[in-house]
């Protein structure tokens, strides 16, 4: 999978109403689980906190694929422009 294909797929996931709902529902269920766990159940609190962090990492990673590709495209355009200007001046 090319970086462009990866970025496009990640963008589709992030913009999909279904996936937004999935992400929201997962987070909500984890928060409910955390809230309903006994105060002295440190192990479960820790596990749910880890799942919440992992949940956030999925979304962050998808966003990073999209933004990294956008930065790469901008850099390629900039490099191309610089090369064209060097050719004109040479």
Residues 6+ apart with CB under 8 A from 70: 7
How many distinct structural domains can be found in the chain? 1
Structural domain of 21: 3-89
Give 62-78 pLDDT, tens digit per residue: 999 888 766 667 667 77
* Residue the block writes with tokens 């799942």: 51
Give 12-27 pLDDT, tens digit per residue: 999 999 999 999 999 9
Helices 42-89 and 3-15 cross at an angle (nearest 10°) of 130
Backbone angles phi, psi at 38, to 5 degrees: -60, 145
Residues 6+ apart with CB under 8 A from 23: 55, 58, 59
User: Does the global pTM surpass 0.75?
Assistant: no
């Amino acid at each position: 999978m090319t970086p462009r294909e990866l970025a496009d797929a990640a963008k589709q996931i992030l913009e999909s109403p279904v996936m937004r709902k999935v992400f929201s529902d997962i987070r909500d269920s984890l928060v409910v689980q955390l809230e309903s766990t006994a105060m002295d159940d440190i192990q479960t609190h820790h596990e749910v906190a880890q799942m919440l962090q992992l949940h956030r990492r999925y979304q962050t990673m998808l966003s990073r694929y999209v933004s990294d590709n956008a930065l790469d495209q901008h850099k390629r355009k900039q490099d191309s422009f610089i090369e064209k200007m060097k050719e004109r001046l040479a």
